Structure 1
Amino acid sequence: MENMEEGWWIHTPTKAPHLLNPVVLAYIGDSVFELLVRQYLVSQPNHKLHHLHKHATQFVSAKAQCALLEKWQPFLTEEEKDIAKRGRNAKSGTPPKNADTADYRQATALECLVGYLYYAKRSERLRELMAIAFNELTEGEEPIKEEDR
């Protein structure tokens, strides 16, 4: 168990992140992604519960996560693309009734990548990708593209 002052990892897995099942990475990535979305929304001025919930669902639905992964693609490293591909191709059960199968698989890919970055303790990289998600880049600033890494 690690000290919370060193990060947000209280219990680390028994395996290295790249050895974890992609569905397991997606499982934790789903929670981490939702936490990051909620933190962002609470940092904004409107704290009405209905507003927070409405805006959170714009990020955490399978369709929204599919679109976000597509937006992230030009900025992902080969390693990150490979992790996302593992997540997309993983057998993760039956998609929810309200989600398209292709969107659900892409959402699982995004969650797998987030889970991987979380357990690899790459919080700065998560911040970069989430800044793209929230369109928080400062004016004129471009996220680092894969070929520039």
Structure 2
Amino acid sequence: MEKSLTPETSDRLKAIQATIDTHYTREQAAAMNPLALAYIGDGIFSDLIRKYLLGCGHQNVNVMTKTSICYVRASAQAQIVRTLLPELSETEERMVKRGRNTASQVPKNANPSDYRYATGFETLIGYLFLCGEVKRMNSLICQSIDVINKNSEI
């Protein structure tokens, strides 16, 4: 037997859904803190890498986890940005630079230059996602996967 939602619960769920469904203009997304854009970009990129690996027929979670690291680690994302930089629009390049130049704590195990470029890449992905340029974002992510596949033994 299904329970019906109380009006309070229904209102809370509607408010949550409205927040999730929020769309931003390019100007609004570009004005956001680059680290906030990198935060969402990191999640999006990681999620799509997992979906890609599952689509390749992987079933073992441990194998997928280890393989995903080859794509999402800072050195890989830095390689992606350096490879794709000539193909980026002025706005996209500006977003990468904003993310790259934002002061953040570099993990001990990461090369500082790679980490900054990776942050720039994640900033770009977050920006494209939030302003609704999902087709362009997916295109860059497909190219990113190709870059890593060509340059590593995956």
Q: TM-score, normalised by structure 1?
A: 0.80
1:12 aligns with 2:26: no
Q: CA deviation at 1:127?
A: 1.3
| Letter aligned with residue 138 of structure 2 | R
Aligned length: 130
| Letter aligned with residue 95 of structure 2 | I
1:47 aligns with 2:33: no
Distance, in Å, in 1 between the alignment partners of 2:20 and 2:64 is: 27
Q: CA deviation at 1:91?
A: 1.3
Q: C-alpha deviations, 1:30-64, integer Å up to 9, x for none?
A: 11111111111111112111220111000111111
Aligned partner of 1:60 in structure 2 is 72
Aligned partner of 1:135 in structure 2 is 146
Distance, in Å, in 1 between the alignment partners of 2:22 and 2:74 is: 27
Q: CA deviation at 1:73?
A: 1.0
1:1-149 to 2 correspondences below 5 Å? 10-12=20-22, 16-92=28-104, 94-135=105-146
Q: CA RMSD in A?
A: 2.3
Q: CA deviation at 1:13?
A: 7.2
Q: TM-score, normalised by structure 2?
A: 0.77
The structure with the larger Rg is 2
Identity %: 35
Gapped regions of structure 2 (runs ≥ 5): 1-13, 148-154
Q: C-alpha deviations, 1:53-103, integer Å up to 9, x for none?
A: 1110001111111001112112111110001000000112x1111101111
Distance, in Å, in 2 between the alignment partners of 1:61 and 1:115 is: 17
Are the aligned partners of 2:24 and 2:132 in contact in 1 as well (CA < 8 Å)?
no
